[in-house]
Structure 1
Amino acid sequence: MTDRTGATGPGDDERHQDGMAVRREVLGDAHVDRAVAGTTPFTAEFQDLITRYAWGEVWTRPGLDRRSRSMITLTALVAGGHWDELAMHVRAAVRNGLSVEEIKEVLLQTAIYCSVPSANRAFRIAQEVLSDEGLV
């Protein structure tokens, strides 16, 4: 049986609450509010999964700081070609304290290990996001 958050087992509600707090800190209230408002009965369990596991389990672990997690996430998104998510996580990286220079260095690294074409697209996306934020 699930509760109002879609949680199904012991501790799931707490992970959901912890995950939502981190999700808001990293992505910002406006983004999370849009995602929550756009949740439908069809997508509710997926939103709960993201909140509990990505944000409530992984992003809350003590082994890496959020800056490091942001660098890893940017790299993984470039490697996978997840361009919409990349834009969101460039914003998150700034919120997590990465400088424009550090974001540039992460993307340069991806050119070698993920591909030059992927890095080219990532630079275009990051440029647009950072310009929108008034950072470049």
Structure 2
Amino acid sequence: MSTDSSRGAVQRDATSQEIYDAGMVVRREVLGDAHVDRANAKKDEFTEDFQDMITRIAWGGIWTRPGLTRQMRSAVTITAMVAHGHWEELAMHIRAAITNGLSRVEIKEILLQTAIYCGVPSANTAFKTAQGVFAELDETSESPEPASPTPPN
């Protein structure tokens, strides 16, 4: 496989399996083994092609690209989930954002930004969703809080 690092896993001569494998690595790193294992355990003949597609295209094709940090990809994804009202996916990607190194303060700022560009009612639901995720994480002590970045001057 040739290596044009600007393209991530999607190289000119990459096989579908190589892209899938790279996507699965990132998917597990971002969402966690438990989440991916649950999703795979629920696969059946009806959903198998969809699970394969998101692993290859979203995780292998997009998330492996070097052009954005995982923190930036998480911020963009959170915004998209709020904009489209995908609350269950938002909860999953808030957890992923913490795994990717975003702090709760940064997530709050992203949600405040969505209030302006996606609407206050959507941001209201997003804040409630985030509160629920944070409460679950605090209960299970699953995720230590990353250090808050120094705000710009």
The alignment's TM-score, normalised by the length of structure 2, stands at: 0.81
- Unmatched segments (≥5 aa) in structure 2: 1-13, 139-143, 146-153
CA distance in 1, matches of 2:15, 2:109: 39
1:130 aligned counterpart, secondary structure: helix
After the TM superposition, list the runs of 4 or more consecutive aligned residues in structure 1 that deviate by more than 6 angstroms: none
| % identical equivalent positions | 63
Match of 2:150 in 1: none
Instruction: Decide which of 86, 101, 106 is 1:97's aligned counterpart.
Output: 101
Match of 1:19 in 2: 23
Match of 1:5 in 2: none
- Unmatched segments (≥5 aa) in structure 1: 1-9
CA distance in 2, matches of 1:12, 1:65: 24
More displaced 10-residue stretch of structure 1: 125-134 or 112-121? 125-134
CA distance in 2, matches of 1:63, 1:131: 33
Matched residues, number: 128
Answering whether residue 136 of structure 2 is matched by residue 132 of structure 1, we say yes
For residues 6-61 of structure 1, what are the alpha-carbon distances to aligned partners after superposition, in whole Å with 9 as ceiling and x for unaligned?
xxxx6110011000000000000000000000000111010000000000010000
For residues 84-121 of structure 1, what are the alpha-carbon distances to aligned partners after superposition, in whole Å with 9 as ceiling and x for unaligned?
10000000000000000000000000000000000000
